[in-house]
Amino acid sequence: MPDKPILLPAEFADLEPFAADWALRRERERYAKRLSSSMEQMQAFYDAAFPRAAAAIQYLNQFDLDKLPEPAQNLLFLLYSLVTVSFPVEVWKQPHVPDAGASYLDLVDEPVP
């Protein structure tokens, strides 16, 4: 368990059980989490987060992206992770890209948030 709980906006408190694992700031962390997760773990996260995602986007749209309160920023990071797990869940049915072997493509520079 992390030292400090990762908080989401009150309206999305139902997703908080997933926040410690998936509200990750950097793409590198999200991708590593995807590769180290089982399909069951990703499916559970996807099944919980996807139905709430449209409402979450609508909620976040009210803020200036550069001035997101911390819980809102965590929610945005959680949505990034939803995108990260979407290919394994919706298409590949496995954490890795098929036929990708040891190849890698590092995101060395990314916008935050």
Q: What φ, ψ does residue 17 adopt, rounded to 5°?
A: -55, -20
Residue 97 found at the interface with another protein (CB under 8 A)? yes
Residue 9 found at the interface with another protein (CB under 8 A)? no
Residue 101 found at the interface with another protein (CB under 8 A)? yes
- Does residue 71 sit in helix, strand or coil? helix
* Rounded Cα gap, residues 47 and 91, in angstroms: 15
- Does residue 25 sit in helix, strand or coil? coil
With CB under 8 A as the contact rule, which of the stretches 5-13, 15-23, 36-44, 56-64 interacts with another protein? 56-64
* Rounded Cα gap, residues 12 and 34, in angstroms: 22
* Rounded Cα gap, residues 113 and 79, in angstroms: 11
Rg, Å, the chain Cα set: 14
Residue 15 found at the interface with another protein (CB under 8 A)? no
With CB under 8 A as the contact rule, which of the stretches 3-11, 14-22, 36-44, 61-69 interacts with another protein? 61-69
Residue 37 found at the interface with another protein (CB under 8 A)? no
Q: Name the site residues for another protein (rule: CB under 8 A).
A: 27, 50, 53-54, 57, 60-61, 63, 65, 76, 79-80, 82-84, 86-87, 90-92, 97-101, 103-111, 113
